[in-house]
Amino acid sequence: MTQSIRIFDTTMRDGEQSPGASMTHDEKIELAKLLEDMRVDVIEAGFPIASQGDFEAVQAIARTIKTSTVCGLSRAGAKDIERCAEAVRPAPLKRIHTFISTSPIHMKHKLQMEPEAVLEAIHGSVSLARNFTDDVEWSAEDATRTERDFLLRAVEVAIRAGATTINLPDTVGYSFPSEYGALFADVIANVPGADEVIFSAHCHNDLGLAVANSLAAVQGGARQIECAINGLGERAGNAALEEIIMALRVRGDGMPYSTVVDATRLMMASKMVSRITGFPVQYNKAIVGKNAFAHESGIHQDGMLKHAQTYEIMRPEDVGQGATNLVMGKHSGRHAFKDKLRDMGYELSDNAFQDAFGRFKALADRKKHVYDDDIIALVDDAAAHYDDAIKVMRLRVVAGTDGPQTAEIDLEIDGKPAWTTQRGNGPVDAVFNAISALVPHSAILDLYQVHAVTEGTDAQAEVSVRLSEHGRIVTARSADADTLVASAKAYASALARLRAKRERGEDAQAVG
């Protein structure tokens, strides 16, 4: 008999705290719907007190999601908890997740509170949260650097006050698996009432141990794992949801635990999060990386042809990875394209479909072979830029040895046309100078990265751009058969996102 493990997704909360990984309101709803379809147990939708935008996104998700629990984060203060309660109120299944630091270093320097005052705050915050819902999670921030006796007292207070889930986060990614597993076993064995609640693991990946630590916690008695798609999260990120799901599935022989998550949507979730945040997935990323099921060496390929299990412990289709296959060309029609999109898990509205089909035709005219990855890039690109207030309408660039490198650009800014021509130190610089002339800003370009979607010199280029301005960081990505067009679109989109963030008055919020 396997025991079930709850999956708590924090992509939209801890994940969004990753510098540059902001998501729009509509993108959060889109992601929440996918997480619900995947049967994720708990969706941590945001930190409602952090900004009006966060509050509205959590509330909209609470109105939309019916079968997963919708959770909001709050610190220990009454205002935080009340705001959080208001945001999750419409959800049929709602949770308030409240936390406070318990380690000496956090209590002394961050909270500037005495330990006894922290215990009082735990009691007050959990009791208050219980007035709004009977599903209350309490987290001991920096639990792994907390003195054990104090942690036992703190957990006891939280349980007595009515917490139903107790989370012991490895906030700074400091623990070893053996220590983290033992921490759970110790707390569960020694705190009165521990058998009445669910214990949860929340691991950061600073030493690359987040997934290993989460699994060790399960062996120590945890029955909920907090994780994020693509391992998104503060600093080095959280435990990757896809790795947790597949580790439990593939190694059921060694760990008799199961989740109800539909693993065949993992690839789609990974691509959606990558598209929304503009964070590319590294090629060799476990489970969802482009190379996760690729076999390059002759010996491996030979083995694979004889028997797939020689080098594969799971099948690509188990996680929704299709083989990169030749799909279509310029003669493929609307019907075939629609079927292809459906096979790939995309259900587009009529308008989005028309847009995607138009882009597909334009690409097929320029590119001999159109692969699955090309289609994913163009559909995701259409979705990513749907709401952009700054759009690239036309671009002409002079490049090459003779120079001067010049870009002539037509933008549409809030629906109004704007035009300029500018020079630069190379074609990309000229393009960015032209956009900056029309959209003045003081942002710094932190990252400009190009990669080819498929093989061949006619491959689409996928460009990622990251900008920062007074602590606000945004990332945007775009794909096009023309590298300079993709660069212009990514830059314009990043500026649109930065402007939206500025207007919403959003600043970086520091929570573990």
Contacts to ligand KIV by CB under 6 A: 14, 99, 139, 141, 167, 169, 171, 202, 204, 511-512
CB under 5 to 8 A by kind: which of ligand KIV, Zn ion, none does 101 bind?
none
Query: At its nearest, how many Å lie between ligand KIV and the CB of residue 376?
Result: 31
CB under 5 to 8 A by kind: which of ligand KIV, Zn ion, none does 133 bind?
none
Other Cβ atoms closer than 10 A to 335: 8
- Contact between 512 and Zn ion by CB under 5 A: the answer reads yes
CA 325 to mean position of chain CA atoms: 27
Residue 231, both tokens: 């391992």
Binding track over 453-492 against Zn ion, x by CB under 5 A: ----------------------------------------
CB under 5 to 8 A by kind: which of Zn ion, ligand KIV, none does 53 bind?
none
Query: At its nearest, how many Å lie between Zn ion and the CB of residue 14?
Result: 4
CB under 5 to 8 A by kind: which of Zn ion, ligand KIV, none does 141 bind?
ligand KIV
By beta-carbon proximity to ligand KIV, the closer residue of 45 and 268 is 45
Q: Is 399 left (phi over 0), alpha (psi -120 to 50) or beta?
A: beta
Q: Are 304 and 311 in contact (CB under 8 A)?
A: yes
By beta-carbon proximity to ligand KIV, the closer residue of 21 and 463 is 21
By beta-carbon proximity to ligand KIV, the closer residue of 165 and 167 is 167
By beta-carbon proximity to ligand KIV, the closer residue of 5 and 496 is 5
Using DSSP's 3-state secondary structure scheme, residue 117 falls into helix
Distances (CA, A) of 118 to 4, 123, 137, 147: 33, 9, 17, 14
Residue 207, both tokens: 């030493």
Site for Zn ion in 4-23 (CB under 5 A): 14
Query: At its nearest, how many Å lie between ligand KIV and the CB of residue 173?
Result: 9
CB under 5 to 8 A by kind: which of ligand KIV, Zn ion, none does 462 bind?
none
Other Cβ atoms closer than 10 A to 394: 13
Other Cβ atoms closer than 10 A to 503: 9
Using DSSP's 3-state secondary structure scheme, residue 234 falls into coil
By beta-carbon proximity to ligand KIV, the closer residue of 146 and 277 is 146
Among the residue ranges 58-66, 83-91, 133-141, 504-512, the one whose residues contact Zn ion (CB under 5 A): 504-512
Residue 328 and residue 333: Cα distance in Å, rounded?
9
How would you classify the pairing of strands 136-141 and 416-423? unpaired
- Contact between 243 and Zn ion by CB under 5 A: the answer reads no
Other Cβ atoms closer than 10 A to 421: 14
Which residues sit opposite 411 in a β-bridge? Answer: 392, 418
CB under 5 to 8 A by kind: which of ligand KIV, Zn ion, none does 511 bind?
ligand KIV
Residue 299 and residue 306: Cα distance in Å, rounded?
11
By beta-carbon proximity to ligand KIV, the closer residue of 167 and 478 is 167
CA 409 to mean position of chain CA atoms: 33
Residue 182 and residue 189: Cα distance in Å, rounded?
10
Query: At its nearest, how many Å lie between ligand KIV and the CB of residue 501?
Result: 21
By beta-carbon proximity to ligand KIV, the closer residue of 171 and 464 is 171
Residue 14, both tokens: 């801890």
By beta-carbon proximity to Zn ion, the closer residue of 10 and 405 is 10
Which residues sit opposite 398 in a β-bridge? Answer: 406
Which residues sit opposite 309 in a β-bridge? Answer: none
Using DSSP's 3-state secondary structure scheme, residue 239 falls into coil
Query: At its nearest, how many Å lie between ligand KIV and the CB of residue 97?
Result: 7
Torsion angle of alpha carbons 445, 446, 450, 451, nearest 10°?
-160
> If residue 380 lies in a helix (H) or strand (E), which one and from where to where?
helix 372-384
By beta-carbon proximity to Zn ion, the closer residue of 14 and 27 is 14
Closest-approach residue to ligand KIV (CB): 512
CB under 5 to 8 A by kind: which of Zn ion, ligand KIV, none does 46 bind?
none
Query: At its nearest, how many Å lie between ligand KIV and the CB of residue 139?
Result: 4
By beta-carbon proximity to ligand KIV, the closer residue of 240 and 494 is 240
Query: At its nearest, how many Å lie between ligand KIV and the CB of residue 407?
Result: 43
Query: At its nearest, how many Å lie between ligand KIV and the CB of residue 425?
Result: 42
Helical segments of 191-297, H only: 210-220, 241-250, 266-277
By beta-carbon proximity to Zn ion, the closer residue of 14 and 462 is 14
Query: At its nearest, how many Å lie between ligand KIV and the CB of residue 44?
Result: 9
- Angle at the Cα of 306 (from 305 to 310), degrees rounded to 5? 95
Instruction: Enter the DSSP assignment of 99.
Output: E
CA 124 to mean position of chain CA atoms: 32
Q: In what order do the strands lie in the sheet with 406-413?
A: 390-398, 406-413, 416-423
Query: At its nearest, how many Å lie between ligand KIV and the CB of residue 169?
Result: 3
- Ranges of beta strands (E only) in 38-171 are 42-46, 69-74, 94-101, 136-141, 165-170
- Ranges of beta strands (E only) in 187-321 are 198-203, 224-227, 257-258
CB under 5 to 8 A by kind: which of Zn ion, ligand KIV, none does 99 bind?
ligand KIV
Q: Are 479 and 380 in contact (CB under 8 A)?
A: yes
Query: At its nearest, how many Å lie between ligand KIV and the CB of residue 23?
Result: 17
Number of residues that bind Zn ion (CB under 5 A): 2
By beta-carbon proximity to ligand KIV, the closer residue of 14 and 374 is 14
CB under 5 to 8 A by kind: which of ligand KIV, Zn ion, none does 427 bind?
none
CB under 5 to 8 A by kind: which of ligand KIV, Zn ion, none does 243 bind?
none
Query: At its nearest, how many Å lie between Zn ion and the CB of residue 511?
Result: 7
Residues at the interface with Zn ion (CB under 5 A): 14, 512
